[in-house]
A and B are shown apart, each in its own frame.
Chain A
Amino acid sequence: MFSIFCYLREFLRPEWWKKFLFVKTAPLVTPPHYRDFPVLTGNECSHELRCMMICPAPGAIEVLKNAEGKWEPVIYKGHCIRCGLCVEACPDNVLTSGDILSVNEKEKTYFLASYHLNVDDSICMRCGNCSVACPVNKEVDPQLAYTATSSSNEVIMRIKNSKLTIIHPEKCTGCKTCEEACPNHAITVARVLEGFQDED
């Protein structure tokens, strides 16, 4: 008996009737850092490739030269998981998605990235593909070709005494081209990342 009374009370509440007669969905509030696919803000990209390196989704972002010959990140929507990390990682605010960029600027949060190269000597067959493919190497020593035996000591890596030596890992921009060029997966790029916030 009591339970039936409870039930009647539930359905005799004015609130219930109000909802039943004038049902209305509350307007959707956009969260302060709603994440959509990243889009370009128009700032110039400095080709640091931090966006590519932080992106957790394989194949979601690539920095390519556009028609005017300028660097520009391209987002592949089928792969992007809309995490917004590329927006947070870019030092030049090239990308934006929702309010992430403004939230980052307000809170002074950012990511610092550095890259480490390791070569597994036991599977590296000294083909030099990695050194030839590396865009930084190519800029430093345009002569570097086929055998990757460069005379310059300013390149990131080269074949020396028929062994791949890494000379300047700090110049690496983390683009992972070498990883892709290596037929044996002997070279790997490790991204080291720290999330920071400035005190005001």
Chain B
Amino acid sequence: MKKTVDVSLPIGPVHPCFKEPARIKCSTAGEHVLSAEIELGYVKKGIERIMRGRPWQEVMFLAERICGICSVIHNMVFIESVERISDIKVPKRAAYLRVIVNELDRIQSHLLANYSYCYTIEHETLAMYLLNLRETAMDQIELITGARVTCAYIIPGGVRFDLSKESEKSLLGALEKIEKDLIRYNRMFESGPLISLRSRDVGILSKEDVKESHAVGPTARASGINIDQRTNHPTYQDLGFKPIVRDSCDNYGRIMIRFDEVFQSIELIRKCLEKMPDGLIRGGGEVGAGETTWIGEAPRGELTYRVRTDEYGRIIDIAIQTPSIMNIEACGHYMLKGVDSAADVTATFISSDPCIACNER
């Protein structure tokens, strides 16, 4: 009789098929994963500690350096919490511009997440297609804000630059291109040989597991949980935002929900451009003393900032809760459990779009 050997299989932090500085420790029986544990803490930045005692001008730049992929939302949530503290009003045009840049950021982040998934399951053609398409979104971010990643676009009371007529035209063109190409890529993923077959029924995260593990964002929405912090945001309420939910609970669902959300973001940007009034982009107002908690929806899920400032607008205390840490919990304790082959471990991990930079803030 063949004997099944139990082994502990470590993946990472330096591993050929897994590029992030985290370690997944799997206990396996043959190829079957019995349980998994994720070990973090290799590149801790301690950014909250650095932020304390600094004026908001510095913290604003530190905040968007927490994550190199979803920097706009960090900028937005931090500035919105400071605005809530000091009761600063934002002109309508600036509020819509914020949403436009934020949604562009979501498009590029989702495309990057799906790129890395396709890359992990070794479908490099589709991966490169998606990565190329992401550049279109990045170019638009650069055109509007002047920088690709650390754009520092949002400031208390408004935004830094207006959207010119020419930029608006190029933005609409880019959206059309993204939409047209993505329909094709979406079909490739759905119907291409073996691509989605490798993801269906792999890494199951049931609705109950989400409730236990408090997973957030697309990871939770792919398991039938209807939570999206954008529904609480005044500008998104204006736009009539409705979250997208799927219920297949597997890797396939998580990838597809990101594709769906990119289409949704394109629609949101178009609506913004339609509704955006002319006028001021900066209102003004001094940052004062107070304390607040404000939640925004990052591409990966809900992002919470708890900020306390003094009368000069300096940050006395700040606590940031990023979405990735919840999703990593869900991934380690629920999704990876019962995965059939070691090759699916990294794919499942990547499907929850883990961001080590967010975790190790």
Contact = CB atoms under 8 A, between A and B. Distances in A.
Interface residues of A, number: 38
Contacts of B312: 116, 118, 190-192
Contacts of A100: 146
A195 B158 contact: yes
B286 A194 contact: yes
Given A190-B313, A190-B314, A195-B156, A3 B58 contact: no
A32 B161 contact: yes
B237 interface: no
Contacts of A7: 192-193
Nearest to B142: A31
B66 interface: no
B188 interface: yes
Nearest to A191: B55
B157 A194 contact: yes
A109 interface: yes
Interface stretch (B21-29, B239-247, B277-285, B335-343): B277-285
Residue of A10, A35, A81, A84 contacting most chain B CB atoms (<10 Å)? A10
B220 interface: no
Contacts, number: 99
A63 interface: no
Contacts of B162: 103, 107
B286 A6 contact: no
Nearest to B158: A195
Contact of A190 (B55, B143, B145, B157): B55
Nearest to A193: B57
B262 interface: no
A197 B280 contact: yes
B232 interface: no
B204 to A, nearest CB: 24
Contact of B161 (A10, A29, A33, A56): A33
Nearest to B196: A3
B4 interface: no
Interface residues of B, number: 43
B119 interface: no
A166 interface: no
A10 B147 contact: no
Given A56-B61, A191-B57, A29 B286 contact: no
B158 A107 contact: no
B156 to A, nearest CB: 7
Contacts of B187: 6
A56 B60 contact: yes
Contacts of A112: 284
Contact of B191 (A2, A109, A191): A2
Nearest to B170: A29
A192 B286 contact: yes
A76 interface: no
A24 B155 CA distance: 38
Given A3-B193, A56-B61, A196 B282 contact: yes
Interface in A27-65: 29, 31-35, 54, 56-57
B262 to A, nearest CB: 19
Interface string B184-222: 100110011110000000000000000000000000000
Nearest to B56: A193
A10 B184 contact: yes
Contacts of A57: 61
Contact of B284 (A54, A56, A118, A196): A196
B146 A194 contact: no
B108 to A, nearest CB: 16
Interface string A73-117: 000000001111100100000000010100100010100100010
A96 to B, nearest CB: 13
B150 interface: yes
B57 A54 contact: yes
Given A29-B143, A195-B157, 19 more contacts: A6-B187, A6-B191, A29-B170, A31-B142, A31-B143, A32-B146, A34-B146, A81-B61, A83-B61, A84-B146, A85-B57, A98-B146, A103-B162, A116-B312, A190-B55, A192-B287, A194-B286, A195-B160, A195-B284
The list of the 3 closest CB pairs from A to B, nearest first, reads: A190-B312, A197-B282, A33-B146
13 contacts: A4-B193, A10-B184, A10-B188, A31-B144, A56-B57, A56-B60, A83-B152, A84-B146, A103-B161, A107-B162, A191-B55, A193-B286, A193-B287
Interface of A: 2-4, 6-7, 10, 29, 31-35, 54, 56-57, 81-85, 88, 98, 100, 103, 107, 109, 112, 116, 118, 190-197, 199
